[in-house]
Amino acid sequence: MIQNLLDRALAQARPAVELGEPASYIPELGKVDKRQLGVCLYTLEGGRYSAGDTRVRFSIQSISKVISLAAALERRGFDTVFQQVGMEPSGDAFNSLVRLETSESHPSNPMINSGAIAVDSYLAPVISFEEMLAFTRALCLDREISLDERVYRSEMSNISRNRAIAYLLENKGVIQSDVEQTLDFYVKMCSLSVTAESLAGLGLVLASGGVDPNTGARLLKAETARVVKTIMLTCGMYNDSGQFAVRVGIPSKSGVGGGILSVVDRRMGIGIFGPALNQKGNSVAGEKLLEYLSAQLDLHIFAEQK
Amino acid sequence: MIQNLLDRALAQARPAVELGEPASYIPELGKVDKRQLGVCLYTLEGGRYSAGDTRVRFSIQSISKVISLAAALERRGFDTVFQQVGMEPSGDAFNSLVRLETSESHPSNPMINSGAIAVDSYLAPVISFEEMLAFTRALCLDREISLDERVYRSEMSNISRNRAIAYLLENKGVIQSDVEQTLDFYVKMCSLSVTAESLAGLGLVLASGGVDPNTGARLLKAETARVVKTIMLTCGMYNDSGQFAVRVGIPSKSGVGGGILSVVDRRMGIGIFGPALNQKGNSVAGEKLLEYLSAQLDLHIFAEQK
Amino acid sequence: MIQNLLDRALAQARPAVELGEPASYIPELGKVDKRQLGVCLYTLEGGRYSAGDTRVRFSIQSISKVISLAAALERRGFDTVFQQVGMEPSGDAFNSLVRLETSESHPSNPMINSGAIAVDSYLAPVISFEEMLAFTRALCLDREISLDERVYRSEMSNISRNRAIAYLLENKGVIQSDVEQTLDFYVKMCSLSVTAESLAGLGLVLASGGVDPNTGARLLKAETARVVKTIMLTCGMYNDSGQFAVRVGIPSKSGVGGGILSVVDRRMGIGIFGPALNQKGNSVAGEKLLEYLSAQLDLHIFAEQK
Amino acid sequence: MIQNLLDRALAQARPAVELGEPASYIPELGKVDKRQLGVCLYTLEGGRYSAGDTRVRFSIQSISKVISLAAALERRGFDTVFQQVGMEPSGDAFNSLVRLETSESHPSNPMINSGAIAVDSYLAPVISFEEMLAFTRALCLDREISLDERVYRSEMSNISRNRAIAYLLENKGVIQSDVEQTLDFYVKMCSLSVTAESLAGLGLVLASGGVDPNTGARLLKAETARVVKTIMLTCGMYNDSGQFAVRVGIPSKSGVGGGILSVVDRRMGIGIFGPALNQKGNSVAGEKLLEYLSAQLDLHIFAEQK
């Protein structure tokens, strides 16, 4: 029955791929076929459902911010992470640096670039990229995740805005470790190659409070999972997060590679790949898919019945 | 057992009243005794628990924004309400008008003054204040709610900033009905006198999806309740909403009169009165109370167990 | 020779009327024939030169800010005027209110709407509009100046943004007298009807340091004239003032009625009427005329030879 | 008589050194003795007057922006320089990058850091620092000017904010040459060591329209001198330029090293050294000196008599 629903959801959302375009600010991302679409849904009871392009590798991009935040909470602790990074949705574009200069002197939250770069500056001195890769593979239940060298190089060649953000953070005293090392770490994390399946795996682990439901192994502290899900809900869909929470009501994080990671708490993980983006940077068809699934399966955090 | 917990919560939070001050920008609000503190908790199963000053009348202030939003959704519909009012947390102060001038030309959400004034401009032409008062009494399960004339007059004498906001909204085409009538409506709604019990009642109705659990009467559509709860979660605690969602995780709305309305979905409504405010405009001791209750009773939307 | 030059300047600038449009935000201003163009030049030695539509009455609009500033300096003194109004060019649009909310809590300068409304709030309690009208006629050497009732009414019907600015100023404590009286005063001053000749007259009085060169009568203190000319130079052409100072170098003030008042210190007054405006709100052909005259007659404040 | 006046001016301004502090954001600048004060005045007729510490070497800092602008106008031309750099005073702090992100996508003017870095990016590929040093020595009539290695190194160690600005400019397409080379060029220019005499020399050359009055050699085109003087007048004293123009009325450029370069057009050049700065970054006692001299010698651009 869930499989039928996924198939219908895919069919209903597919036309929306025409309404968006792949990210263009990094040349390598612009080469992807925007008509691809896939959704993968894993339940805590062990159900595995897929429809469409769920095994195509694509660039994780901003969804890596969730993994970095989780790692930083585990390795550095809540108080260190949030000493100079806020938890407030900003209403600003993901790559904005205006607010750093005006009302506040620290990044609004860890889901925008400035906040994620700050978080990575706490990680880079204490964990190698290789360890982060292993951590990512474990969390996503996917041993095939690897660095996409072409995306990495393409992104390093178009880094001026993030470099500006990073040096402004250094100027504000938010970053105290090496800026260039932090940027390299940040870009590498953004350049990981995942599938819709990887994201469903990550969603499942978060839905179960940090435990791999297949093995029972605890991968994250319960508190880490709780913090990450809350911040995904309030800040995960760029400056469309509020509207998405009202309409869909599922903690999610999108990336400009076309992915969406979604967590239906204590029920399921959902992974989506749909590289046609709307103007906010979210997968157009992906959002449609999730709105449909939320309505059909009562997945909204405040759904009447579940 | 819940009663004991409430008593302990009150004792543990009471010292925090010394850390805040009552709102001072409206003279009448500044006269309140800041040491007052009370919490009231109603469960869907019919439990009624109170501790402290739960029957003291105080000014509802911004919590009325929840009621206006609910009324507007019922009377004008979702699409009309959100045509020119957003659903995004703004990260700005509640009375800011900067964003109206810069990135956006409409209010960010209905929980900040500009958004609430816009919402009231949709209501004022179709519903009288007397009807709104009756609607409020019904939702709060409290027939004693009335207009505090002194607060109303005090606020009308200090209305310049809200008047500036309202005329800017008229200039932007967001308000199309009479500005002065809208402001009068807005200020009257802010000047209603409630108790912690009234807020627990309102919370209970929202927790049960819009139904009065005592009578079974449906007071709000399920969709209205869902939208309101989501916006409370993302935008309800001023520009501290994100942090509050992480730490406490209960959809809430605060007012500078010292009240907090909280909704534990499908479980309980909580009302708090504690007029000592922190710098964001939220009840200092009220936040402490809720953080304690959330931890002890697993009330966080993403709590491990419930 | 000057007459020939004026004729050539007019011919050379006339095609530019096609590049602009009359102000449209006030309906009454939009009705004007945008092809009109006239320039009038009065020298301290008594020369009177005109070309084009120099006797057509048009709305003075923002040029009245110069007269209000002069009156306020005379009646209230430098220190009172500049206690809560700055002297800094803002780089913002004339009707912006963002900066009032952010870095500063007072208007940047008296040539933008917020600053002029503040200045008028110092005048309105101490001088009647009839006295201001007499003062204006004297300064402009034009006894025919009068209030255009249709423009006044049209503008009062489209006052929301200025009303928002005025109430925000009241909220900031910048305006302490009656807001509606101040707005009425402000709009009446903007609705005066002048000609290019009136502006040349006003320019001549400023060029001679506040003295009517025909009669020798002192109309303004020397200090008032000096302050006014400096602020015209740095702030008079909206957020194009810096560029205009570089290219033309003549203290000037434009209005969206199409007028430009220019002062060549100790040499001449120039008045222009050309209602086709560029995007900054300045007369397109008027700017061309002045650039031509400045180059031909070495009128730039830092011209090589004079 | 001028010598007596300079002596009196110095005596009258000296107490003001107690009201300010040396720049502290670059450690090396903070080491200077803030009680130093000197003024040097050169007239076109050949007069040379000095009072106080006029031969002490200090860091030119932002005054180098005038020299870079002049060089860029000479080497690259007006149109190239101002294609992506504005001429508008911004009202913002000298090191702000907010406006780059909001209303405009280019630096407001060449006197703030972002604009100067852009200008230097046009220069760095076509002229070596050694040539710039020779050009500076010529313009300042001072062959002793050299790079202060300690200031240069201190500044390179505290470059994060300017680096952020530079990479943001690269992101906006304003800088197209090498960013690090541009920054190095910019910092070297800021680290030149000058005296009050050097600045009086530079002022004299600008006052004479670009000619060395001693030798008659033309060092700058007349247009270059005119553009530079106008921009100094509207933008030269940071976000206090408007007020300074009203009160003093002399085109000037200040630096956080404590220097002020002033140009009384066609009459004199003035150089000042006074490292105690006010909150805007201008020499406190230096401003007092200039206000006194302007009043006593009728140096205001719109002075009644000269």
B303 located within any domain: no
Residues of A in contact with B234 (CB under 8 A): 89, 233-234, 241-242, 245
Query: Is D304 within the bounds of a domain?
Result: no
End position of a domain, from candidates C190, C223, C247:
C190
Rounded to a whole number of angstroms, the distance between the first and last alpha carbons of chain B is 16
Does C220 have pLDDT greater than 70? yes
The band of A20, judged by pLDDT with boundaries at 50, 70 and 90, is very high
* Domain presence at residue B306: no
The residues of B that are catalytic are 62, 65, 186, 238, 256
**Do C197 and C241 fall into the same domain?**
yes
Element (H, E) at D165: helix D160-171
Closest Cα to residue C201, out of C178, C219, C189?
C219
Q: What kind and span of H or E run contains C167?
A: helix C160-171
pLDDT tens digits along D108-158: 999 999 999 999 999 999 999 999 999 999 999 999 999 999 999 999 999
Tokens of A78: 């809540």
> What is the pLDDT, as a whole number, of residue B103?
56
Q: Answer yes or no: is pLDDT of D176 > 90.
A: no
| Nearest-angstrom CA–CA distance, C112 and C236 | 9
pLDDT at residue number C289? 98
pLDDT band at A25 (very low <50, low <70, confident <90, very high): confident
Average pLDDT taken over every residue of chain C:
95
Spatial contact of A258 and A289, defined as CB atoms under 8 Å apart = no
* pLDDT score at C271: 98
The kind and range of the H/E element at C59 are: strand C58-59
Inform me whether the pLDDT recorded for A306 exceeds 60.
no
| Same domain, yes or no: C91 and C168 | yes
Residue B275 tokens, joined: 């007029």
Q: Let me know if residue A83 belongs to a domain.
A: yes
Provide the pLDDT for residue A304: 82
| Rounded to 5°, angle at Cα D7 from D6 and D13 | 85
pLDDT value for D104: 65
For residue D240, being part of any structural domain is answered with yes
Partner A contacted by B90 (CB < 8 A): yes
Q: Where a domain ends, among A136, A171, A190?
A: A190
Active site (catalytic) residues of A:
62, 65, 186, 238, 256
CATH number, domain containing residue D34: 3.40.710.10
pLDDT tens by residue, D253-306: 999 999 999 999 999 999 999 999 999 999 999 999 999 999 999 999 999 865
* One domain, residues A88 and A132: yes
Looking at the structure, tell me whether residues C169 and C260 fall in a common domain. no
User: Closest Cα to residue B152, out of B199, B186, B118?
Assistant: B186
D207 and C CB contact within 8 Å: no
Question: Is C241 in contact with D231 (Cβ distance < 8 A)?
Answer: no
User: Does D206 lie in the same domain as D174?
Assistant: no
- In terms of C-beta density within 10 A (0-12 exposed, 13-18 middle, 19 or more buried), how is residue A79 classed? exposed
CB contact (8 A) between residue A171 and residue D165:
no
Give the pLDDT confidence score for residue C98 in this predicted structure: 66
SS3 of C211, please? strand
Tallying the residues shown for chain A, one arrives at: 306
Give which of A164, C152, C231, B287 is closest to D183, Cα–Cα: A164
DSSP states of C250-295 as a string?
--EEE-TTSEEEEEETTTEEEEEE---B-TTSSBHHHHHHHHHHHH
Q: C-alpha angle C98/C99/C100, rounded to 5°?
A: 90
Same domain, C92 and C174: yes
Whether D305 is in a domain gets the answer no
Kindly list the catalytic residues of D.
62, 65, 186, 238, 256
In a domain, D88, yes or no: yes
Q: What rounded mean pLDDT belongs to chain A?
A: 95
C126-179 per-position pLDDT tens digit = 999 999 999 999 999 999 999 999 999 999 999 999 999 999 999 999 998 999
- Residue A209 clears pLDDT 90, i.e. is over it: yes
Residues B276 and B257 occupy one common structural domain: yes
Instruction: Using alpha carbons, select from A78, A108, A80 the residue that is nearest to residue A96.
Output: A108
In a domain, A304, yes or no: no
Which one of C69, C88, C239, C279 makes the best mutation probe of the D interface by having the most chain D beta carbons within 10 Å?
A: C88
> CA C200 to CA C190: how far, in whole Å?
18
User: Using 50, 70 and 90 to split pLDDT, how confident is the model at D101?
Assistant: low
| Rounded Cα distance, A301 and B226, in Å | 9
HEC readout, C192-248: EEECHHHHHHHHHHHHCCCECCCCCCECCCHHHHHHHHHHHHHHCCHHHHHHHHHHC
Rg (C-alpha) for chain C, rounded Å, is 18
In this prediction the pTM is 0.94
Whether A167 sits inside 8 A of D167 (CB atoms) is yes
Q: Are B212 and B42 in contact (CB under 8 A)?
A: no
Q: Using alpha carbons only, how large is chain B's radius of gyration in Å?
A: 18
* Average pLDDT in chain D: 94
Q: Which among D60, D206, D73, D177 is positioned nearest to D117, based on CA atoms?
A: D177
DSSP B270: E
- Cβ neighbours around A26 below 10 Å, total: 22
Question: How far is CA A217 from each of CA A110, A220, B233, D140, D275, rounded to the nearest angstrom?
Answer: 26, 9, 32, 74, 64
DSSP sequence for D101-147: HTT-SS-S-TTSHHHHHHHHHHHTTTS-HHHHHHHHHHHTT-TT-EE
Question: pLDDT, tens digit, for every residue of B67-77?
Answer: 999 999 999 99
Q: Are strands D38-43 and D48-52 parallel, antiparallel or unpaired?
A: antiparallel
| Environment class of A147 (CB within 10 Å of its CB; exposed 0-12, middle 13-18, buried 19+) | middle
Please state, as a whole number, how many other Cβ atoms lie within 10 Å of the Cβ of residue A166. Answer: 28
Please give the positions of C annotated as active site. Answer: 62, 65, 186, 238, 256
Do D202 and D226 lie in a common domain?
yes
Residue C103 contacts B where some CB pair is shorter than 8 Å:
no
DSSP classification of residue B28 = G
Within 223-262 of A, beta carbons closer than 8 Å to B belong to 225-227, 229-231, 233-235, 239-243, 245-246, 249, 251
What dihedral do alpha carbons D292, D298, D304, D306 form, nearest 10°?
170
Residue B25 confidence class, pLDDT cut points 50, 70, 90: confident
Model pLDDT, residue D98: 66
Average pLDDT for chain B: 95
Is D25's pLDDT higher than 90? Answer: no
Residues B77 and B103 in one domain: yes
- D199-209 pLDDT, tens per residue? 999 999 999 99
- Domain containing residue C11: 2-60+193-297
- What is the C-alpha to C-alpha distance for residues D229 and B269, in angstroms, rounded to an integer? 68
Q: What is the DSSP letter of D159?
A: -
Burial class of residue C134 in the structure, from the number of CB atoms within 10 Å of its CB (0-12 exposed, 13-18 middle, 19+ buried): middle
A138-160 pLDDT, tens digit per residue, is: 999 999 999 999 999 999 999 99
Choose the final residue of a domain: C157, C190, C223: C190
State the average pLDDT over residues A274-289: 96
pLDDT at C226 over 70: yes
pLDDT at A101: 66
Specify whether the CB–CB gap between A250 and A286 falls below 8 A. Answer: no
Element (H, E) at A192: strand A192-194
pLDDT bucket at B102, cuts 50 / 70 / 90: low
The amino acid sitting at B299 is L
pLDDT digits (tens, 9 = 90+) for B206-264: 999 999 999 999 999 999 999 999 999 999 999 899 999 999 999 999 999 999 999 99
Give the number of beta-carbon pairs within 8 Å between C and D: 109
pLDDT at D105 (0 to 100): 78
User: What is the total count of domains within chain C?
Assistant: 2
Same domain, A201 and A273: yes
Same domain for A76 and A142: yes
Tell me the pLDDT band of C306, cut-offs 50, 70 and 90. Answer: low
With beta carbons under 8 A apart, name residues in chain D contacting C235.
242
Average pLDDT of the segment spanning C112-130: 96
Cα distances (Å, whole numbers) of residue D300 to A224, B93, B244, C265, D252 = 65, 44, 57, 12, 12
d(CA C84, CA C234): 19
Average pLDDT over residues A57-63: 97
Same domain, A221 and A288: yes
CA gap C33, C53 in Å, rounded? 11
